[in-house]
Structure 1
Amino acid sequence: MKKSQALLKSVQQRQKGQWLRLNDLQYFGGQKTLFEYKQNMTTIGQQLQKVENELADAAIDTSKTSEDIQTLQKSRDDLKQRFDVIKEQHDQLEAEQKAKFEDQNNIKGINDPKQKKVEAKAEMIRATMTNKPITKEVFQALGDNTNPSTGGEKLLPKTVSNDLIHEPFVKNPLRDISVFTQETNLEIPKIAFQLDDDDFIGDAETAKEMKATGDTVTFGRHKFKVFVPISETVLNGTKTNLVTTVDRGLESGLAAKEKKVAFATTPATGEEHMSFYSTQNKIKKVEATSKYKAIKDAIADLHEDFRDNAKIVMTYKDYMDIIEVLANGNASLYSAQPEQVLGKPVEFVDAAKEPIVGDFQYSHFNYDLQMLRDRDKDVKTGVELFVLTAWVDHQIKLKSAFRIAKVATDPEA
């Protein structure tokens, strides 16, 4: 009874303009929990509804006096004020707890850059899989300051893109020697200089002019999709495991696609220009009686400007076949570096059916920045699919910078 009187006194103080503090309702010996506030709101709310029904009935009951109606009105007002006070304290405590929870789970509060990126990646992946919007803080943590409300939710954040292209889990050796960029509608001028008159300038002559001629290499958009299966256990597990699973899957898919288009012996329609082996590119083939001699001749056949930076891309099997022939029982050759054997650095790619020799800075991969994220689910197995749609193009900027080493079919060649 005394506790109820204390509560009523607090209500009366509130009516006089003295607002209640959170402690005003802590009459159980400590701060009430959110659950207790909800219980009290339910109890008083039910009582308030009952009194309001009784008041409505009394208003049309001619046997009720005005004093009866005034008593019910006073009771209703008292209960309503009690309900409002408890609701105010409930909302205040709920807001404080929510803010505290958000602070604990907000990536802003993470100081370690690596951990912050892992947390942000996990938030992006889970938001995609649950069809929820990605917060501005997540985009900023991943290096994309685009406001999600203006379309940024459809961009794969730049930090993630960089990780996928430059830090592959499944290695594509071309990433170490070719050029990789991320530019929309990329065009690169291909310039050659010509001197019309290369004689020395006479005393009475005007200066000879050097003219620049050339064309433009234009990168297109060739769409492909990468699917990464995610089990329910991984999706709901630790952030680190989730991010690792998705990153590895995406890295593997992108690397595999790059190798496939660059070394396709029968390229798909519209992708002919991407392959070193395509007849459309007409890369010069240098033939000899053995692959070792063909590689040596191909290096020698390159212009000296390309030869200085030349590298060899070939299969490991072809290299071991060359070593077996050259060693002729001498085991020491097996421990030599490939560059010591062939004269140029070597990158091993199983997809390179015939060795390619050249300056690979003229091999250029470009990813369009508009990578899209999507999801799908197999309801029977519960496996979620994280789907990445990307656009890539591979341009061989100068065909003359490359040679293909080929064993001659005619022994007399």
Structure 2
Amino acid sequence: MKTLYELKQNLVTIGQQLQKVESELSEKAIDPKTTTEEIQALRETKEDLKMRFDVIKQQHDALEAEQKAKLEAQMASQKDLKTIDDPKERLIKAKAELIRATMRGKPIPADVRAALGDNNSTGGEKFLPKTVSTSILTEPFVKNPLRNLSTVTQITNLEIPKLSFTLSDDNFIADTATAKELQATGDVVTFGRYKFKVLAGISETVLNGSDANLVSYVEMALQSGVAAKEKKVAFATTPNTGEEHMSFYAAGITEITEDSMYKAIKSALADLHEDYRENATIVMRYQDYSDMIETLANGNATLYMAQPEQILGKPVVFCDSAVNPVVGDFSFSHFNYDLNTLYENQKDITTGIEQFVVTAWFDHQIKLKSAFRIAKVAPQA
């Protein structure tokens, strides 16, 4: 492919030839000695040169526009963080520089860490999850339905009371199950640090693209990974060793078994103490709900039009990971992230794609198991 300089030279050469032919054609046109054939030949030559000139000019203009766009993008990428006044633009620029430096194995510049509000030597503690509430942990492509129900915090070495308040009266806790649980496990929840990694595959095209596109792409991938991890541990039927307490199905929550899904859910709600029942939500698979409605309707189309809350008496949230419906007050489900987060790059040898890897620590605590019930259907004989 010709360079922009070569195209400019060609334009000049053909332009001069075209100008010469046009001048000669004008002279011949007024010369009575010139034959019609000569004039026609000059006109054809002019049209041929004009066509060639237009083709080269189109190539020239397209290449010039492309190089101009690249130059502007390069100048924008080299813009000093200190000269950017817009806080949002400065944050995007800093994140993009952090990602690019990590992917290229280079140290994170001090001004980038400063723009992210990060004084950690790793340069990562405030990328995830310091920006949890506005960045990494919101609106992912893969969503965790518990996000709108559970509590999510980012506090190192978090310890909290299981109950928001107590009274001096020894008989204050009316729910005997809760009283026994507090007596057996204590009235304070201590959050641990369980490591997990989220990988965002980045191609060279994305890495060398605009800051906004790069940051948006990576954050979306990280958001989705974090949401998937939260959902996985909360509904794991066979959790990893040491993570049993994170799962509704392995933490020791009371199971209520009936001969139908509808009866199991209603009995689970009834079995909750009124304090938890008041704020209860039902988390279940859509397929289970659909099957339940089909059984209840028994050919009556009216039931299909009713909202889930009208059928079951409490709000319903659908989650395909909930193999058995979880019923309870989900304010007692609590995700906490440790602020000490690392990041690195890693190549996926199976695809050849470079991965931007974030290593984070978190914990999911079911603060009170007595605030939940698992609804199960007895196996058919």
If the length of structure 2 is used for normalisation, what is the TM-score? 0.70
Match of 2:294 in 1: 324
Correspondence for 2:257: 287
Equivalent position of 1:175 in the other structure: 147
Q: Which amino acid aligns with 2:273?
A: H
**Displacement of 1:341:** 1.7
Greater CA drift, 189-198 or 369-378: 189-198
2:40 is aligned to none
Tell me the SS of whatever aligns to 1:224: strand
CA positional deviation for 1:107: 3.4
Identity of aligned residues (%): 60
* 1-structure distance, mates of 2:286, 2:336: 27
> What is the alpha-carbon distance in structure 1 between the residues aligned to residue 83 and residue 300 of structure 2?
62
Partner Cα distance (1:252, 1:379) in 2? 22
Q: Is the 8 A contact 1:311 1:358 kept in 2?
A: yes
Q: Is the 8 A contact 1:299 1:358 kept in 2?
A: yes
Which residue of structure 2 aligns with residue 75 of structure 1?
none
Hey, what does 2:373 align to over in structure 1?
403
Residue 193 (structure 1) shift: 4.3
Q: Any residues of structure 2 matched to 1:107-122 within 5 Å, and which?
A: 107-122=81-96
SS of residue paired to 1:260: helix
Alignment of 1:112-261 (within 5 A): 112-142=86-116, 144=117, 146-147=118-119, 151=121, 153-157=123-127, 159-162=130-133, 163-191=135-163, 193=167, 195-196=169-170, 214-261=186-233
Distance in 2, matches of 1:197 and 1:164, equals: 44
Quickly say closer, same or farther: Cα 1:184–1:254, change in 2 above 3 A: same
Please state how far the C-alpha of 1:327 moved relative to its aligned partner. 2.2
Structure 1 residues 360, 378: closer, same or farther in 2, change over 3 A?
A: closer
Q: Secondary structure at the match of 1:282?
A: coil
Matched residue, 2:357: 387
- TM superposition shift of 1:368: 0.9
**Amino acid across the alignment from 2:155:** E
Structure 1 residues 380 and 311: CA distance shift in structure 2, 3 A: closer
Label 1:133 to 1:327 Cα distance change in 2 as closer, same or farther (>3 A).
Answer: same
Distance 1:170-1:124 versus aligned 2 partners, 3 A rule:
same
- 1:298 aligned partner: 268
Q: Give the one of 284, 292, 296 matched to 1:314.
A: 284
What CA distance in whole angstroms lies between the structure 2 residues aligned with 1:196 and 1:248?
49
- Cα distance between partner residues in 2 of 1:197 and 1:315: 38
Query: In the alignment, is residue 375 of structure 1 matched against residue 349 of structure 2?
Result: no
CA drift of 1:257 comes to: 1.1
1:106 alignment partner in structure 2: 80
Secondary structure of the residue aligned to 1:369 is: strand
The 2-side partners of 1:188 and 1:195 are apart by 21
Question: How far, CA to CA, are the matches of 1:102 and 1:333 in structure 2?
Answer: 59
The alignment of Structure 1 onto Structure 2 pairs a total of residues equal to 292
1:327 partner amino acid = A
8 Å contact from structure 2 (residues 122, 342) kept in 1: no
Cα distance, 1:378–1:219 mapped onto 2, change above 3 Å: closer
Give secondary structure in 2 for the equivalent of 1:373: strand
**1:225 Cα deviation from its structure 2 partner:** 1.1
Q: Which amino acid aligns with 1:121?
A: K
Verify the 8 A CA contact 1:231 1:382 in the aligned structure 2. no
Checking the alignment, whether the CA contact within 8 Å between 1:368 and 1:390 is kept in structure 2 is: yes
Counterpart residue identity of residue 169, structure 2: L
- CA shift, 1:248, in A, is 1.8
Distance, in Å, in 1 between the alignment partners of 2:170 and 2:334 is 31
2:333 to 324, 344, 363: 363
* Superposed displacement of residue 379, structure 1: 8.2
C-alpha displacement of 1:381 = 6.5
SS in 2 for 1:400: helix
Q: Which amino acid aligns with 1:124?
A: L
CA, structure 1 residues 379+232, in 2 after alignment: closer, same or farther (shift >3 Å)? farther
Superposition deviation, residue 235 in structure 1: 0.8
Q: Which amino acid aligns with 2:243?
A: E
Mark the runs of 5 or more structure 1 residues left unpaired by the alignment.
1-100, 199-211
Distance in 2, Cα, partners of 1:323 & 1:161:
38
**Separation in 1 of the partners of 2:302 and 2:125?**
53
Give the SS at the match of 2:245: helix
CA distance in 2, matches of 1:108, 1:335: 58
Contact 2:77/2:211 (CA < 8 Å) preserved in 1?
A: no
Q: Contact 2:130/2:339 (CA < 8 Å) preserved in 1?
A: no
Q: How far apart, in 2, do the equivalents of 1:296 and 1:187 lie?
A: 34
C-alpha RMSD of the superposition? 2.7
Q: Is 1:103–1:109's contact at 8 Å kept on the other side of the alignment?
A: no
SS at structure 2 position matched to 1:195 = coil
Asked which structure has the greater RCO (Cα within 8 Å, sep 6+), the reply is: 2
Give the AA of the match of 1:334. Y
Q: Which residues of structure 2 form unaligned runs of 5+?
A: 1-74, 173-181
Q: Residues 214-238 of structure 1: CA distance to partner in whole angstroms, max 9, x if unpaired?
A: 5321111111111111111111112
What is the deviation of 1:386? Answer: 0.4
**Deviation for aligned residue 1:409:** 3.3
In the alignment, which residue of structure 2 is the partner of 1:272? 244
Equivalent-residue separation in structure 2 for 1:135 and 1:105 (angstroms):
14
